[in-house]
Structure 1
Amino acid sequence: MNSNKSSISIFSSDNSPAPSPADPLKLFKEALNDGVNQIQSHPDMCCSAMLSALSIAAQGLINVQTLEGRAKPVSICTLTSARSGDRKTSTDNYYFVR
């Protein structure tokens, strides 16, 4: 990769997957459930907001290598469509402002 950022691989030096915690999604699930319970927002909307916040936080730290070999910042694009009063702003504020 042609980047000043350090490269972290999800694979060990022998190309086998690196060790991971027993339940790597435990913290994610807990944060999702906290948002659903505290702001009474739909789980899908909470998940989208949380993934967006994580992506923004990681963009300055993590690059991915494209099939062409170029390094690009990790990112996702999300769109939330819901009716007025469905807690869109509250959901975004919960995951982005905290």
Structure 2
Amino acid sequence: MLLPSESITAVFFDVGRRGEEGAERLPDGFGLERNGRLDDLLLEAAQPGRRFDLVAVQSASRLSCARDSSASVLLRLAAAGVPVRAVKRARRRVARV
């Protein structure tokens, strides 16, 4: 979860693998606009006027499909001065009848 003083300013994620059918399609009912892919996030992170101060992820290991790439992403974000925080996903409570 985010702190009360924090807000989501941009959403970056890859949908499927590049070149796969439906790879650019968002899940139905996603509710947020997508601002780009992981490559776009890394490019913007290196810019002085970036729209974000930190990257919130469900798990650092999910930054990339390949473990080596996840480590590389973390290093690139650290070099740009962008902290990464793993946040718990809000669970929906379902009443059982």
- TM above 0.5, one fold? no
Identify the structure with bigger relative contact order (alpha carbons < 8 Å, sequence gap 6+). 1
Structure number with larger C-alpha Rg: 1
Larger helix fraction of residues: 1
- TM-score normalised by L of structure 1: 0.27
- TM-score normalised by L of structure 2: 0.27
